[in-house]
């Protein structure tokens, strides 16, 4: 017991030193301290950071977070097959404890695949090539720069995060009016029509996970009657991880020696991978004419 | 004055008992919905608003229509309407109460409803809708009650109430305009994305509301000793005629733009409603029925001889109420969601529990109207007999 405790203190002390020393060294080397601070705080305001001293989001460690000014996703449809599309859906819905519901009326989906004519309904024509016609286009919330869903929400339960442009949902504030579902032109939002967790075992097993795997404790649960949608894995970014679906695609690509199907990055950073792809490929966005300015791009 | 509501004949109590019975049944259904979620309704991921919001929209119109009586009386000194302003105002009270209840039963998390006030969001039309609806409810109770009290004492309404009355006129327009804006500002829903939405809403409100008021007046005449008056009903009939024609005209304007421009995103919703889309056409017969009813009503109402015949007028009013109800309480909401943004067709049909809850809310509204009308007519009769 004693040894364990001493060892623990030692490790803690050393890491604390490391944590303190490195930022100090970095701080002396940077030109713009405000930018540096912002980066160190993981995009949170100093006030939020102060709050985190008392109430820290699960798994959040300041300084480790991935930060960007405008997160975006590039979907390389050429690299997507059913298998990878299903893997993306599976991992996303698992890490976010999304209930699996068979009834399509009550279905909850954050990311799914659809055919070209559904993803780009204004662009369909009868002579489109077979390989595009039935290709599985991955779709999700576009994290629009000018999101209609945020504008209409009467409680600010859905909001756009100022520092990185992610459109988030507070499932604990949402009153379930579903105005946002009517407003989103991309069908990105799902509503909890039925109880997502069994009452008697609240918090143990998401009701509809068929593999009976325990829930991911690092993602909050929800109640019935709230809206939910893709959050660009904000909870993972806070820990320095890339979105789960992107990670799956990267691993699959490495195995097969191909390019990844999903690429995630900061649109404001000219050297980011997404910016490079946007420079070298012709890309499409869904319904750009509506002016929501989606941050998900498609290479077809 | 409220004590008048507690003295009544057998029929009055039977009516109240029936309404309470329906309310009770609906309340049990609502408890069930509250426990297991909105999944017991026919709504779905694709058609995320249904019957509840449809009724809400329709009833906002009915409520706003009170202005059609208040305005001629107070602004144009059309004396005849003095007899029925109170009926119009109390009908509005019942209608707005139903609106608020429909919103409440539609919420996924009704216990959090106050979040709308705790986190006020001026960019949200729903936030404004909440303000104007509650304001309108207050105005109508306040004005109606005070004017009626004054009348009972045999004195003209106090002068300080006048500003509230004048305020209630634009306020009535505002409730329906704001409700139209709930729909008309959403990108990607071609069916609703039209500037004529608010005018269309007002036109359908000003025919459905007065038509309902005529029917209520006729019931009042039959069941109480108070007669709302022949001239009053006749004038209301003309209002219904004009508004109904305007309503259909606005709709034709909409049809022209949509079908002449041939823009699929706008056209497909109409095609779904009137012809069916990809083999789905639940609503097709209903929509044609709605327009058949409205057209028949117009024909009956524009022929002066028909309109002046109270029997035919009654029929025309029933047709108007049902026609506009299908058009606005059903087609308008569901049509906007089919096809969905990915151009897939998911159909909607209300379930039994959903219909029962809806019925219960209507019953609540009619209970409020019955009680208020009871008070109003008793006072009116007292004054007439006494004076
Ligand atoms: S895709 Fe829909 S839900 Fe996502 S930000 Fe845009 S409007 Fe909102
Ligand atoms: S359903 Fe929830 S998130 Fe959507 S608009 Fe209503 S309160 Fe906001």
Clarify whether residues A106 and A212 are in a common domain.
yes
Query: Taking CA atoms, what residue in B is nearest to A107?
Result: B45
Clarify whether residues A39 and A95 are in a common domain.
no
Question: What is the CB-side half-sphere exposure of residue A178 using CA atoms within 13 A?
Answer: 28
Clarify whether residues A92 and A233 are in a common domain.
yes
Tell me the CA–centroid distance for residue A192 and ligand 2, in Å. 12
Identify the segments of chain B with pLDDT beneath 50.
Answer: none
**Percent of chain A residues past pLDDT 90, beyond the cut:** 57
Clarify whether residues A16 and A92 are in a common domain.
no
Clarify whether residues A292 and A208 are in a common domain.
yes
In angstroms, what separates the C-alpha of A230 from chain B's closest C-alpha? 15
Question: What is the CB-side half-sphere exposure of residue B201 using CA atoms within 13 A?
Answer: 31
Q: How confident is the model at residue A2 (pLDDT cuts 50, 70, 90)?
A: very low
Clarify whether residues A111 and A201 are in a common domain.
yes
- Structural domain harbouring A200: 71-299
DSSP H/E element including A168: strand A167-169
Residue among B107, B189, B342 whose CB faces A118 most closely:
B342
Task: Give the Cβ contact number of residue A215 at 10 Å.
Answer: 18
pLDDT at position A30 over 50: yes
**3-state DSSP call for residue B171?**
helix
Clarify whether residues A179 and A58 are in a common domain.
no
Contact A173 B182 (CB under 8 A): no
Looking at residue A113, what is its pLDDT?
95
Clarify whether residues A147 and A11 are in a common domain.
no
Q: How confident is the model at residue A284 (pLDDT cuts 50, 70, 90)?
A: very high
- Give a three-class secondary structure readout of A122-153: HHCCCCCCHHHHCCCEEEECCCCCCCHHHHHC
Looking at residue A199, what is its pLDDT?
54
Which residue among A64, A80, A105 closes a domain? A64
Q: Is the CB of A177 under 6 A from ligand 2?
A: yes
Q: Are strands A296-299 and A71-76 parallel, antiparallel or unpaired?
A: parallel
Q: How confident is the model at residue A208 (pLDDT cuts 50, 70, 90)?
A: low
State how far the Cα of B105 lies from the Cα of B365, in Å rounded to an integer: 14
Clarify whether residues A228 and A286 are in a common domain.
yes
Looking at residue A4, what is its pLDDT?
58
Ligand nearest to the CA of A176: 2
Which residue among A64, A93, A108 closes a domain? A64
Query: Taking CA atoms, what residue in A is nearest to B112?
Result: A175
Clarify whether residues A116 and A255 are in a common domain.
yes
Tell me the CA–centroid distance for residue A178 and ligand 2, in Å. 5
Ligand nearest to the CA of B110: 2
Average pLDDT, chain A: 84
- The residues facing A167 across adjacent strands are A160
CATH code of the domain in which A81 resides: 3.30.70.20
pLDDT at position A200 over 50: no
Count of A–B CB contacts within 8 Å? 149
pLDDT at position A7 over 90: no
Looking at residue B235, what is its pLDDT?
93
Residue among A114, A227, A292 whose CB faces B187 most closely:
A292
pLDDT at position A1 over 50: no
Looking at residue A60, what is its pLDDT?
55
Looking at residue A56, what is its pLDDT?
57
Residue among B48, B106, B188 whose CB faces A185 most closely:
B188
What is the number of the ligand 1 atom nearest to the C-alpha of A230? 4
Ligand nearest to the CA of A171: 2
Clarify whether residues A98 and A201 are in a common domain.
yes
Opening angle at CA A289, ends A284 and A291, nearest 5: 105
Taking CA atoms, A171 is separated from A68, A108, B13, B36, B47, in Å, by 24, 14, 46, 18, 21
> Which of A119-128, A270-279, B89-98 bottoms out in mean pLDDT, i.e. has the lowest?
A119-128
Q: Is the CB of A229 under 6 A from ligand 1?
A: yes
Query: Comparing B53 with A67, which gets the higher pLDDT?
Result: B53
Tell me the CA–centroid distance for residue B352 and ligand 2, in Å. 26
Query: Taking CA atoms, what residue in A is nearest to B106?
Result: A177
Tell me the CA–centroid distance for residue A296 and ligand 1, in Å. 11
Q: How many domains does chain A have?
A: 2
Q: Is the CB of A153 under 6 A from ligand 2?
A: yes
Q: How confident is the model at residue A239 (pLDDT cuts 50, 70, 90)?
A: confident
Clarify whether residues A272 and A289 are in a common domain.
yes
Q: If one looks up domain B2-386 in CATH, what number appears?
A: 1.20.1630.10
Q: What is the ipTM of this complex?
A: 0.92
Looking at residue A202, what is its pLDDT?
47
């Amino acid at each position: 017991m004693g040894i364990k405790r001493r060892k623990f203190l030692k490790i803690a002390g050393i890491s604390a030193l490391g944590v303190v020393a490195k930022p100090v060294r970095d701080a002396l080397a940077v030109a713009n301290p405000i930018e540096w601070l912002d980066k160190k705080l993981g995009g949170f305001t100093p006030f939020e950071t102060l709050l985190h001293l008392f109430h820290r989001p699960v798994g959040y460690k300041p300084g480790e977070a991935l930060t960007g000014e405008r997160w975006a996703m590039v979907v390389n449809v050429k690299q997507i097959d059913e298998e990878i599309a299903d893997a993306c859906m599976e991992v996303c819905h698992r890490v976010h404890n999304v209930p699996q519901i068979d009834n399509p009326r009550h279905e909850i989906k954050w990311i799914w695949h659809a055919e070209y004519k559904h993803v780009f309904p204004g662009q369909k024509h009868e002579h489109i090539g077979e390989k595009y016609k039935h290709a599985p286009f991955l779709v999700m919330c576009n994290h629009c720069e000018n999101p209609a869903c945020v504008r209409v929400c009467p409680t600010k339960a859905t909001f756009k995060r100022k520092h990185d442009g992610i459109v988030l949902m507070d499932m604990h504030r949402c009153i379930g009016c579903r105005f946002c579902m009517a407003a989103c032109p991309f069908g990105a939002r799902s509503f909890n029509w039925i109880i997502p967790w069994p009452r008697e075992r609240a918090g143990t097993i998401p009701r509809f996970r068929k593999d009976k795997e325990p829930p991911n404790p690092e993602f909050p649960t929800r109640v019935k009657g709230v809206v939910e949608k893709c959050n660009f894995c904000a909870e993972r970014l806070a820990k320095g991880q890339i979105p789960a679906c992107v990670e799956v695609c990267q691993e699959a690509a490495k195995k097969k020696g191909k390019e990844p199907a999903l690429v995630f990055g900061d649109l404001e950073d000219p050297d980011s991978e997404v910016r490079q792809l946007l420079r070298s490929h012709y890309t499409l966005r869904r319904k750009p004419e509506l002016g929501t300015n989606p941050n998900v791009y498609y290479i077809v | 004055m409220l004590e008048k509501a507690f003295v009544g004949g057998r029929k009055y109590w039977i009516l109240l008992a029936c309404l309470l019975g329906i309310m009770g049944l609906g309340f049990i259904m609502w408890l069930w919905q509250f426990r297991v979620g909105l999944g017991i309704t026919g709504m779905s991921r694709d058609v995320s608003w249904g019957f509840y919001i449809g009724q809400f929209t329709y009833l906002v119109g009915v409520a706003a229509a009170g202005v059609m009586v208040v305005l001629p009386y107070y602004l144009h000194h059309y004396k005849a309407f003095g007899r029925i302003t109170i009926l119009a105002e109390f009908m509005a009270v019942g209608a707005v109460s139903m609106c608020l209840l429909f919103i409440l039963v539609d919420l996924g998390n009704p216990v959090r409803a106050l979040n709308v006030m705790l986190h006020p969001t001026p960019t949200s039309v729903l936030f404004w809708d909440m303000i104007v609806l509650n304001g309108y409810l207050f105005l109508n109770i306040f004005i109606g009650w005070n004017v009626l009290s004054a009348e009972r004492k045999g004195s003209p309404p106090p002068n300080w109430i006048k500003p509230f009355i004048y305020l209630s006129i634009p306020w009535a327009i505002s409730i329906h305009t704001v409700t139209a804006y709930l729909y008309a500002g959403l990108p990607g829903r071609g069916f609703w994305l039209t500037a004529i939405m608010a005018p269309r809403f007002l036109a359908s409100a000003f025919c459905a509301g007065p038509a309902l008021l005529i029917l209520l007046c006729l019931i009042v005449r039959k069941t109480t000793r108070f007669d709302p008056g022949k001239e009053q009903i006749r004038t209301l009939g003309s209002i219904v005629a004009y508004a109904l024609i305007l309503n259909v005209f606005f709709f034709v304007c909409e049809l022209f733009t949509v079908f002449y421009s041939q823009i699929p995103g706008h056209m497909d919703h109409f095609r779904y409603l009137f012809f069916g889309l990809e083999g789905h056409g639940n609503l097709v017969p209903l929509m044609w029925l709605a327009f058949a009813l409205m057209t028949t009503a117009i024909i009956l109402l524009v022929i002066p001889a028909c309109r002046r015949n109270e029997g035919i007028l009654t029929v025309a009013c029933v047709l108007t109420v049902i026609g506009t109800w299908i058009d606005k309480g059903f087609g308008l909401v569901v049509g906007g969601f089919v096809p969905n943004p990915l151009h897939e067709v998911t159909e909607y049909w209300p379930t039994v529990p959903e219909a029962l809850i809806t019925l219960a809310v209507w019953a609540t509204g009619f209970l409020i109207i019955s009680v208020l009308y009871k008070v109003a007519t008793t006072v009116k009769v007292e004054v007439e007999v006494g004076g």
